Structure 1
């Protein structure tokens, strides 16, 4: 009797034949269904999801309120293009984001589809508002896979390698990180040197940063850096663009990470958990800046899709009703407590970084050398045990945690036990 072929294996063979290798995948587990913080593959294997589709599912897979909102919208219409025949829900979401983002000043919001689109449009607005062309970003940053997104991104492999010259007038300075030996003073001095040696500050439209670097290694921007950047921007007429694509919507213990710092933004980008898994991004900024682009200069055919907008309005309600930012603090505490109990038995854990539930573990040997192979082994062992983990960092030596904030206590504890098993076995 012939054995039944493994469904994942068959699908992986089809994927390799049909899809380009540039679209890399982490696992060969093809999803059949998912609910909150759990995924079941086509073979029926269950995975506890500590990745949330790369920070997209703060409200979990298929949150009932999000699903119900999308179903209601689907009964009315699912697309018209807002620039052709607008609809109220788009306006309502912009109103809510204008009021919910930090800062006591007049704001306006435009909706897009992806995080990269939001970032690109932030730069377009910055250039239109200032009449300038240069942009400063940080090493280790990730701002998207489009051409300008790649230029802003401060990580060569796999994002820039092989794609040729990047757009001009994008400059990078070091992001402060204790593990990398970079201080806030080092970052500020690098900007000052840039102004003296490479680019006139009066040609710089914007400085772009993530409050917590995602792909870069979960390094957390100190408040001192944000304050100094605000001072530099104000001194030279530069706009401060804050990329909250990964940090937004409760992940850090606040609805937006910038709320931890008390510093005002000029333009703020968001996506990922904004719409609970539906493709939607947003750019919120000072009203006078957002009006700098001429009609038709912003937008997109699918920008602000009605189904995604309905999901986002539901997500904001869930954030409040279920107190998910506060839940992030509770989950972060429990994760760090678990990791603290493991540090003596896993000496390669050199640093645990945390803002709310946004937690990263860095692994190095006694000489301080990054350990990407160890991290990959932990990731593989965890997957075999039923726990999905994501990694990050320029050296690939950081495990990052992005579980749904709605995860049930029992499932969370089960995931922590699997994590401990994988770390100790590795």
Structure 2
């Protein structure tokens, strides 16, 4: 099948994008970074069209946000209909039905065979912060446990919980107290499950049995490098949390809602959180997040203690309800697993061709390739950056990540056309081969 993507009519970025970027630079602070300085005019399920008429294959999904496509018909219809009714009232002032319907769907679908309640907010960081507030209220404790390579947000508390220093924490301290970091069971880096759990037990013992309110963990790490923990690690966290009365918070903000080929990545580990967090894909581009958990925990916060002016905005709630309609298609999750098969078929052979292709990992449409020297696994951020730049120039939008910036992550829309996916992978594998060959990194 011939795929008319990408379609490049100018260099990337084109002249109009460069003009707009200059205006942006004069109006927006430099602290807002940008992966690719092109300005988008419209989108499809598989591609973004910029203001110069270039069509770029989308392997980013707005950092896992536009999982049902950046211009999904059901989302547009529901949001447009809500625009004709009203845009906002603030759910804490006067109520509206869509907020309740979103909460009901999450209560029914978030893992856990127990009675649940859901609170809606606006951003992933808000969800994390409110989960900690709720856990503290429920337990009467202050401490928060997080793992190495975690990413939980950019607010003061969530920035404190995030492991990666630059760019997220540089010059922004001092940070929130009572946050303690423990090892992650990272297979590539040789940190095993037993050693990681022993260290967690030591930290808990050293701080006292009543020190920690919450243990917050991503079932697959996002910004940390799409690290899939060794089997048994999440189950070990569940056991230790139960033993010490710690609220286990599963951060599914990037990995949830179909991204890994299951509705929630924690399901693939057979682990249920006391609280589960969603955001990103939940609103298909409109800002909404959710904290869903055991009723007795969620109800611990006093009336008026939770909320936010924009929390569960009605436009975002309608977008979420549209996302749920897409997710309930029985064909969707199997097709996401097929996305993983296609990606692995393209990328895994590169591990045999080039020493610096250290790992291909992930699940579903949340996949990554890590670059490191073979001898000592020293990160090669230079290669990841060069490969990503080559992809951008060829019309493929990719993202880097990882604690050391040496990982290229693939987050195509769950609904991406398979032929477009294959074409994007041709561009990516070509860029990897060209870059690794130029660097003389072929396997012996």
The 5-angstrom pairing of residues 381-400 of structure 1 reads: 381-400=390-409
- Is the aligned partner of 1:309 residue 2:301? no
Match of 2:284 among 267, 276, 280: 276
* TM-score, normalization by structure 1: 0.96
Deviations 1:64-102 (A, max 9, x none): 111111111111111111111101111111011000011
Structure 2: distance between partners of 1:260 and 1:340 = 22
| Equivalent in 166, 178, 182 of residue 173 of structure 1 | 182
CA–CA separation in structure 1 for the residues paired with 2:65 and 2:323: 11
Report the alpha carbon displacement of residue 418 of structure 1 after superposing the two structures with TM: 1.0
Distance 1:30 1:200 in 2: 52
Within 5 Å, which residues of 2 pair with 1:2-401? 6-197=15-206, 199-321=207-329, 323-367=331-375, 368-401=377-410
Cα distance in 1 for partners of 2:306, 2:61 equals 29
Query: Does the residue aligned with 1:202 lie in a helix, a strand or coil?
Result: coil
What is the SS of the residue equivalent to 2:188? helix
Offset at residue 341 of structure 1 (A): 3.2
Deviations 1:22-72 (A, max 9, x none): 111111111121111211112112210100000001101111111111111
Query: 2:144 & 2:317 partners in 1: Cα distance?
Result: 30
Give the TM-score normalised by structure 2: 0.93
Please tell me whether the aligned partners of residues 50 and 388 of structure 1 are also in contact (alpha carbons under 8 angstroms). yes
1:375 aligned counterpart, secondary structure? helix
Instruction: Find the residue that maps to 2:328 and give its secondary structure.
Output: helix
Deviation, 1:322, is: 5.9
Assess if the C-alpha contact under 8 Å between 1:346 and 1:423 holds in 2.
no
Q: Deviations over 1:190-231 (max 9, x none)?
A: 21221233x213121010000000010111133411211111
On the 8 A contact 2:358/2:374 being kept in 1, the answer is no
Q: What whole-Å deviation, never above 9, does each CA across 1:246-285 have from its counterpart, x for those lacking one?
A: 0011011111111112222111111000111111100001
The reply on whether 1:424 has 2:443 as its aligned counterpart is no
Bigger drift between 222-231 and 77-86 goes to 222-231
Q: Superposition RMSD on alpha carbons, in Å?
A: 1.3
- 1:405 pairs, out of 381, 396, 414, with 414
Instruction: Report the Cα distance in structure 2 between the residues aligned to 1:195 and 1:212, rounded to whole angstroms.
Output: 23
Secondary structure at the residue paired with 1:180?
Answer: coil
- Residue in 1 that maps onto 2:442: none
